[in-house]
């Protein structure tokens, strides 16, 4: 609710000005018509409302659904809110949302996100010679950005040696390869270009978007080193009329360091298998060739299932809304990724400055 009231204040609007509402299903207390419930609590009476459950692809899918609702004439101004409570105990009385494959995989010990992504990391290492120390460069760069972010959880600098000294969680992934568990939320408002001109804040354009979901169970995945991001990003680039070289930054879903590396490859920033070299020598830091996760990402800012990746991209493109030391200079376009489930769901979003 605090995110909703905050968006009203920033956008200079009232609840009655919002006629569309999209949110995420709670992880530990699934509801029917949850978006309608939340809209009612916020004193909204939307013409369009829905809640989504695509894991880490949900925040981007919210924006995409908002665009479609506006284009279809079902709404004019849509609020997208995503919140998560995982850092502290959740008092909700309900049951966790189901994965759908519990009976087939969990009895054999395959029941966690880190196990899923450890499979991908092992395969990337087997196919391309990637090492744990290569993954460390992703974690170190992300932490460097978090240290510049006053709203980040982890603000203690990290070295390659620190990463390598952290314990294994599920080999080959170490503690510092894994995202945080966090409480928090974020929100954005999507509206038409015409209406956006009346808002007090500088708007940001939605240039391109895509989704691709190549499998459901990890056991059915056609590949563990090329994921849905390849097709999803191709759709977004085509819609935007842009290519990877046009991106001034990338906010990449980083539940694990291997996810960042694979997505950078899938998004065309380097060839498949070259991610281990692409992430080195400051290339993905602010001031480098492609700043990645300029806010600290899930690894070091907070794990809100990627919603803060979207809000960070908006702030970067508006300019002068983040700490000066982590502002990407002359940012005109950026890409945001969302990744969910057993490496099975993916959504892409390209935003541009106006």
Q: What is the pLDDT of residues 12-63, one digit of tens each?
A: 778 889 999 999 988 777 777 889 999 999 889 999 999 999 999 999 999 9
Q: Residue written as tokens 């950005």?
A: 145
Q: ∠ CA 93-94-97 to the nearest 5 degrees?
A: 150
Per-residue pLDDT at 110 exceeds 80: no
- For 56-84, b/e burial (b = at least 16 CB within 10 A) is bbbbbbbbbbbbebbeeeebbbbbbbbbb
What gap in Å lies between CA 177 and CA 300, rounded to an integer? 10
Regarding predicted confidence, which is higher, 102 or 291? 291
Question: Contact, 250 vs 269, CB < 8 A?
Answer: yes
Residue 93 C-alpha from the chain's centroid: 28
Per-residue pLDDT at 76 exceeds 80: yes
How do residues 183-238 score in pLDDT, each as one tens digit?
999 999 999 999 998 888 899 999 999 999 999 888 889 999 999 999 999 999 99
What gap in Å lies between CA 56 and CA 251, rounded to an integer? 13
What gap in Å lies between CA 2 and CA 38, rounded to an integer? 12
Residues with Cβ < 8 Å from 66, sequence gap 6 or more? Answer: 20, 22, 75, 78, 80, 190
Residue 283 tokens, joined: 């290339």
Position 88 confidence tier, pLDDT thresholds 50, 70, 90: confident
Parse the chain into domains and list their residue ranges: 2-93+178-353
Element (H, E) at 48: strand 48-52
The average pLDDT across 159-185 equals 97
3-state class (DSSP) for residue 24: strand
Per-residue pLDDT at 93 exceeds 80: no
- For 165-182, b/e burial (b = at least 16 CB within 10 A) is ebeebbebbbebbbbbeb
What gap in Å lies between CA 61 and CA 24, rounded to an integer? 10
Query: pTM of the full predicted structure?
Result: 0.94
Question: Contact, 177 vs 257, CB < 8 A?
Answer: yes
Per-residue pLDDT at 6 exceeds 70: no
Which of 21-25, 120-124, 253-257 is predicted least confidently?
21-25
Regarding predicted confidence, which is higher, 260 or 42? 260
Residues with Cβ < 8 Å from 14, sequence gap 6 or more? Answer: 8
Computed from CA positions of residues 79, 232, 280, 172, in that sequence, does the dihedral angle turn out positive or negative? positive
- Counting DSSP H helices and E strands in the chain, the numbers are 12, 10
**Superfamily in which the 2-93+178-353 domain is placed by CATH:** Thiolase/Chalcone synthase (3.40.47.10)
Residue 78 tokens, joined: 């849509």
Position 157 confidence tier, pLDDT thresholds 50, 70, 90: very high
Residue 155 CB neighbour total at 10 angstroms: 15
- Please give the pLDDT value at position 284: 98
Residue 93 burial (CB < 10 Å; 0-12/13-18/19+)?
A: exposed
Element (H, E) at 128: helix 113-128
Q: Which of 343, 351, 291 is nearest to 99 (CA)?
A: 343
Which segments of 147-198 does DSSP mark as H helices, in order? 160-165, 193-196
3-state class (DSSP) for residue 73: coil
Which of 98-112, 121-135, 252-266 is predicted least confidently?
98-112
Per-residue pLDDT at 111 exceeds 80: no
């Amino acid at each position: 609710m605090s995110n909703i009231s905050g968006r009203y204040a920033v956008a200079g609007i009232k609840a009655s000005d919002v006629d569309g509402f999209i949110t995420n299903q709670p992880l530990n207390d699934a509801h029917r018509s949850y978006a309608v419930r939340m809209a009612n609590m916020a004193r909204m009476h939307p013409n369009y409302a829905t809640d989504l459950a695509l894991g880490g692809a949900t925040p981007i899918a919210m924006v995409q659904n908002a665009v479609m609702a506006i284009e279809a004439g079902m709404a004019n101004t849509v609020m997208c809110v995503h919140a998560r409570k995982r850092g502290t105990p959740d008092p909700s009385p309900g049951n966790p949302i189901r994965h759908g494959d519990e009976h087939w995989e969990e009895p054999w010990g395959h029941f966690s996100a880190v196990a899923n992504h450890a499979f991908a990391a092992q395969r990337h290492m087997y196919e391309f010679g990637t090492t744990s120390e290569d993954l460390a460069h992703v974690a170190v760069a992300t932490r460097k950005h978090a240290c510049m972010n006053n709203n980040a959880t982890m603000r203690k600098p990290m070295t390659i040696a620190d990463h390598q000294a952290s314990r294994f969680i599920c080999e080959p992934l170490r503690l510092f390869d894994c995202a945080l568990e966090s409480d928090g939320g974020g929100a954005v408002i999507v509206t038409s270009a015409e209406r956006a001109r009346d808002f007090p804040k500088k708007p940001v354009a939605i240039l391109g978007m895509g989704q691709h979901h190549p499998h459901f169970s990890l056991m059915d995945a056609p590949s563990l080193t090329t994921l849905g991001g390849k097709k999803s990003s191709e759709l977004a680039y085509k819609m935007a009329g842009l290519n990877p070289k046009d991106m001034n930054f990338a906010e990449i879903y980083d539940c694990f360091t291997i996810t960042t590396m694979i997505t950078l490859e899938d998004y065309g920033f380097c060839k498949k298998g070259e991610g281990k070299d692409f992430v080195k020598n400051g290339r993905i830091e602010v001031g480098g060739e492609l700043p990645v996760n300029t806010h600290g990402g899930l690894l070091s800012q907070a794990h809100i299932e990627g919603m803060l990746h979207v809000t960070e991209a908006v702030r970067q493109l508006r300019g002068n809304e983040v700490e000066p030391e982590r502002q990407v200079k002359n940012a005109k376009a950026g890409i945001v990724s969302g990744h969910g489930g057993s490496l099975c769901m993916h959504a892409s979003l390209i935003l541009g400055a106006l």
